[in-house]
Amino acid sequence: MFYMSIERDLAVAQIPKAGLSTIMQWLGRDFPVVPNDEARRVSRRVAFIRHPIERLKSCYSFMYWQKDYGHPHKCGAPVDSWEAFVDHILTHGNIHWSPQSLIVEDVPNIYRRFENLAECYEEFRPGLLPHNNRASRLPTNDYRKGDLLAFYADDLTLWGNC
């Protein structure tokens, strides 16, 4: 899915845990959500790719804090430990931790690093960039790091080429 404006000739990918609420607020109401194929109608199709392991750590913390506040995420991922969470994500699909390359498919023709969003957003649309959902991070470790790097190999390539 993409936020798209034909008038502005711009579509921006919807990638969970990669600044999605910030991007949504920055773009505003004149960027409705459209399927990937429809986003091809504009010439500037942007994806802000987040480092996949940092994205996963953010997902873990987000789901932990949701559960802690009495609103467990409906995906059922265990958040009692980083190790249990990693084991779960490597065997169960969910949009929050699916590889970004699968979410955006081959639609984007412009890739930028999520980590540089504040520096490059005006390239696509002027305005103030809000910063939503800043949260503290839970401790993690290198548990199954090799498996995670393999799982996110395409994302690491995209991110490295931004």
Give pLDDT tens digits along the chain (162 positions).
999 999 999 999 999 989 888 888 888 888 999 999 999 999 999 999 999 999 999 999 989 988 877 887 788 899 999 999 999 999 998 988 999 999 999 999 999 999 988 888 788 887 777 776 666 789 999 999 999 999 999 999 999 999
b/e per residue, 21-47, with b = 16+ CB within 10 A? ebbbebbeeebeebebebbbebeebbb
Contacts 24+ apart (CB under 8 A), 89-96: 89/56, 90/144, 90/147, 90/148, 90/151, 95/16, 96/16, 96/17, 96/59, 96/62, 96/63
Question: Total domain count for the chain?
Answer: 1
What per-residue confidence (pLDDT) applies to 161? Answer: 95
What per-residue confidence (pLDDT) applies to 46? Answer: 97
Spatial contact of 95 and 103, defined as CB atoms under 8 Å apart: yes
Report the 10 Å Cβ neighbour count for 70. 6
110-113 β-sheet, strand order = 33-34, 2-5, 10-13, 44-49, 110-113
Structural domain boundaries enclosing 64: 2-161
What per-residue confidence (pLDDT) applies to 81? Answer: 95
What per-residue confidence (pLDDT) applies to 101? Answer: 97
As a whole number of angstroms, the distance between CA 138 and CA 47 comes to 27
As a whole number of angstroms, the distance between CA 131 and CA 111 comes to 20
Identify the helix (H) or strand (E) that includes residue 102: helix 100-104
